[in-house]
Amino acid sequence: MSFNAEKTQQFASVLTEALPYIQKFSGKTLVIKFGGNAMVDEELKSSFARDMVMLKLIGINPIVVHGGGPQIGKMLKALNIETRFVDGMRVTDKQTMDVVEMVLGGKVNKEIVDLIHGAGGSALGVTGKDGRLITARPLQVSKNTPGIDASEIIDIGHVGEVAQVNKRVLDTLINSDFIPVVAPIGVSSEGDSYNINADLVAGKIAEVTQAEKLILLTDVPGIQNSEGEVLTGLTTQLVDDLVKEGTISGGMLPKVQSALDAVAAGVHSAHIIDGRVKHAVLLEIFSDAGVGTLITHKSMANTQAEQ
């Protein structure tokens, strides 16, 4: 193989640019929500697994939280189980919950674990039921009907929200040099299983572990303004304003709310990044430009000054 001076210099520049970030984040915890196209594209899945192994090898502690909505939908269809949605949330009866547990806790979770092992790392897959990692409560959904003063409470079954996270379970895995891979299934105090939005689970885990960063992979370049331009360094106040004016809406709202809650609870920064980009996590963490939207309490200028 012939020597390519230009390529070698580019490689050296990349390493040099990454060095201060590696030094800064070594020993810190990053919570990464893995979902969207990155979970179904074979090349992206493999590159994500290699990225997680690299983070662990250089002294950073990743915690992976994954979704699996499309995989659940595909299995329900194959089993001829009807799917119904209320305000974008899947109504989850006992039969559907059994499928959710099978797909998320079994198929999807173990596939991610296998990919990390195949890349040379050590991972351990858990659901929120293991070690009572995630205690859940039913998610209450209300609907306002014209002409009726009181809101109607709608029962959507085994859909929950996080009541508590058992940090000791995660500490045990991290201190044993495993990469935790968490399926977003919680358990109530009565022992019932609940399906929980993966973005919200990732945010709560970031809060409890006081993670350095919460990183949410999406199928869009990041938070965009009304002209479709990606907004990079945002304060929590600016994000609140974008929500109020309707610029941020729909499926982006749970991600944004998770990011805001995490930063408000002490997580240093939250990132909403494009998971369709190979090595998106590494590019966001270790490069000056990044590949998505950074959210902090302070302005971008203040954040860079601290770095």
Domains of the chain plus CATH, in order, are 23-306 (3.40.1160.10)
User: Distance between CA atoms of 246 and 242, rounded to whole angstroms?
Assistant: 6
Q: Which residues, other chains included, contact 134 with Cβ-Cβ below 8 Å and sequence gap of 6+? A: 127, 128, 162, 164, 165, 166, 182, 184, 185, 186, 187, 196, 201, 204
The set of residues, in sequence order, having a beta carbon less than 8 Å from that of 67 and lying 6+ positions away, is 33, 34, 35, 36, 39, 184, 198, 199
Per-residue pLDDT of the chain (307 residues; tens, 9 = 90+): 555 667 777 777 778 888 999 999 999 999 999 988 888 889 999 999 999 999 999 999 999 999 998 899 999 999 999 888 876 678 899 999 999 999 999 999 999 999 999 999 999 999 999 999 999 999 887 665 455 454 556 778 999 999 999 999 999 999 999 999 999 999 999 999 999 999 999 999 999 999 999 999 998 888 888 788 888 888 888 888 888 888 887 778 888 889 999 999 999 999 999 999 999 999 999 987 778 899 998 644 344 444 4
What is the spatial distance between Cα 186 and Cα 118, in angstroms, rounded to a whole number?
28
Give this prediction's pTM: 0.89
Q: Which three-class secondary structure state does DSSP give residue 46?
A: helix
Cα–Cα distances (Å) from 154 to 159, 242, 245, in that order, read 11, 28, 27
138 neighbors 159 (Cβ within 8 angstroms): yes
Q: What pLDDT is recorded for position 307?
A: 42
Give every CB contact of residue 109 below 8 A, 6+ residues apart in sequence.
66, 125, 126, 127, 181, 183
C-alpha 90 chain-centroid distance: 19
